[in-house]
Amino acid sequence: MPLFNNRKTIIHRFGFVPNLANFVILYDHMNKSVDKMKKILAILAAVMVLSAAGRTVAAQTTHRGSDDMKIGVAGYTYRSFDLDQTLRYLKSMDVKYLSVKDWWLPLNSTKEQMDAFKAKCAEYGVEGYILGPIYMRTKEQVDNTFDYAARYGAKMFIGVPNYELLDYVIEKVAKTGIKVAIHTHGPDGAAFPDIRTVVEKVKDPSLGVGCCMDLGHSFRMGWDVAKDIKKYKQWIYDVHIKDETDASKAGQTWEMGRGKMDLISIVKAFRKIKYKGVISVEFEKNGKDPHGGVAESIGYLRGILDATK
Amino acid sequence: MPLFNNRKTIIHRFGFVPNLANFVILYDHMNKSVDKMKKILAILAAVMVLSAAGRTVAAQTTHRGSDDMKIGVAGYTYRSFDLDQTLRYLKSMDVKYLSVKDWWLPLNSTKEQMDAFKAKCAEYGVEGYILGPIYMRTKEQVDNTFDYAARYGAKMFIGVPNYELLDYVIEKVAKTGIKVAIHTHGPDGAAFPDIRTVVEKVKDPSLGVGCCMDLGHSFRMGWDVAKDIKKYKQWIYDVHIKDETDASKAGQTWEMGRGKMDLISIVKAFRKIKYKGVISVEFEKNGKDPHGGVAESIGYLRGILDATK
CATH number, domain containing residue B74:
3.20.20.150
**Chain B residue at shortest CA distance from A62:** B260
How far apart (Å, rounded) are the C-alpha atoms in residues A110 and A233? Answer: 35
Judgement on whether residues A14 and A157 belong to the same structural domain of the protein: no
For B97-151, the three-class secondary structure string (H helix, E strand, C coil) is EEEECCCCCCCCCCHHHHHHHHHHHHHCCCEEEEEEEEEECCHHHHHHHHHHHHH
Rounded to a whole number, what is the distance in Å from the CA of B38 to chain A's nearest CA?
28
Structure confidence at residue A308 (pLDDT): 96
Count of CB pairs separated by less than 8 Å, A with B: 168
Q: How far is residue B151's CA from residue B100's CA, in Å, rounded to a whole number? A: 14
**B203 pLDDT tier (thresholds 50, 70, 90):** very high
B282 pLDDT higher than 70: yes
pLDDT in tens, A129-174: 999 999 999 999 999 999 999 999 999 999 999 999 999 999 999 9
Which positions ≥6 away from A212 have C-beta within 8 Å?
A130, A132, A133, A158, A181, A182, A183, A184, A237, A238, A239, A240
Q: What angle do CA B221, B227, B232 make, to 5 degrees?
A: 90
Residues of chain B in contact with residue A225, where contact means CB-CB under 8 angstroms, are 56, 59
Closest CA relative to residue B111, chosen from B67, B150, B58: B150
Same domain for B248 and B133?
Answer: yes
Does residue B228 belong to any structural domain of this protein? yes
Give A29's pLDDT tier (boundaries 50, 70, 90): very low
Average pLDDT of span B66-89: 97
Report the C-alpha gap between B246 and B248 in whole angstroms. 5
User: Of A184 and B46, which is predicted with more confidence?
Assistant: A184
CA B149 to centroid of chain Cα atoms: 21
- Verify that A137 and A103 share a domain, yes or no: yes
Query: Does residue B126 belong to any structural domain of this protein?
Result: yes
Q: How confident is the model at residue B38 (pLDDT cuts 50, 70, 90)?
A: low
Within this chain, do residues A131 and A207 fall inside the same structural domain, yes or no?
A: yes
CB B134 within 8 A of CB B104: no
- The answer to whether B292 faces chain A, any CB pair under 8 Å, is yes
Residue B26 burial by Cβ neighbours in a 10 Å radius (0-12, 13-18, 19+): middle
B123 CA to chain A: closest CA distance, Å?
20
pLDDT at B59: 52
Q: Do A262 and B93 touch (CB under 8 A)?
A: no
B1 domain residue, yes or no? no
Averaged pLDDT, A73-97: 98
Provide, rounded to the nearest whole percent, the portion of chain A with pLDDT above 90. Answer: 79
What residues have CB less than 8 Å from A15, skipping those under 6 apart?
A: none
One domain, residues B110 and B187: yes
Q: In this structure, are A79 and A217 located in the same domain?
A: yes
Could you tell me the residue range of the domain that residue A31 belongs to? 7-60
Beta bridge partners of B137: none
Average pLDDT over residues A173-192: 96
Q: What is the pLDDT of residue B63?
A: 87
Closest approach of A257 to chain B, Cα-based (Å)? 7
Q: Is the dihedral of CA A74, A78, A84, A88 positive or negative?
A: negative
- Chain A residue numbers with beta carbons less than 8 Å from the beta carbon of B54 are 223-224, 227-228, 231
Query: Quick one: B288 and B198 in the same domain?
Result: yes
Query: In chain A, at which residue ranges do the beta strands (DSSP E only) sit?
Result: 70-74, 97-100, 127-136, 156-161, 179-183, 209-214, 236-241, 243-244, 253-254, 278-281
pTM, rounded to two decimals: 0.82
Question: Is residue B280, in this structure, part of any structural domain at all?
Answer: yes
Structural domain tally of chain A? Answer: 2
Q: Which has more pLDDT, A246 or B8?
A: A246
Q: End-to-end CA distance of chain B: give it in Å, rounded.
A: 35
- Torsion angle of the four alpha carbons B135, B139, B143, B148, in this order, in degrees rounded to the nearest 10: -20
**pLDDT tens, residue by residue, B209-248:** 999 999 999 999 999 999 999 999 999 999 999 999 999 9
Distance of CA A111 to the CA centre of its chain: 26
Is A1 a member of any domain?
no
Long-range contacts of A12-21 (CB under 8 A, 24+ apart): A14/A43, A17/A47, A17/A57, A18/A43, A18/A44, A18/A47, A19/A47
Coil, strand, or helix at residue A129? strand
- Terminal Cα distance for chain A, rounded: 36
**Do residues A287 and B287 lie in contact, with contact meaning Cβ atoms separated by under 8 Å?**
no
Share of chain B above pLDDT 90, in %: 79
Residue after which a domain boundary falls, among B60, B83, B98: B60
Query: Quick check: B298 and A297 CB within 8 A?
Result: no
Cβ neighbours, 10 Å, residue A296: 30
**Comparison of pLDDT for B13 and B106, the residue scoring more:** B106
Asked whether residue B215 falls in the same domain as residue B278, the answer is yes
Interchain CB distance below 8 Å, A223 and B54: yes
206-265 in chain A: CB under 8 A from chain B? 219, 222-225, 227-228, 231, 247, 255-264
Asked whether residue B40 falls in the same domain as residue B185, the answer is no
Contacts of A222 in chain B (CB under 8 A): 5-6, 55-56
Q: How far apart are CA A66 and CA B264, in angstroms?
A: 13
ipTM of the complex: 0.82
**Phi, psi dihedrals of residue B183, rounded to the nearest 5°:** -75, 135
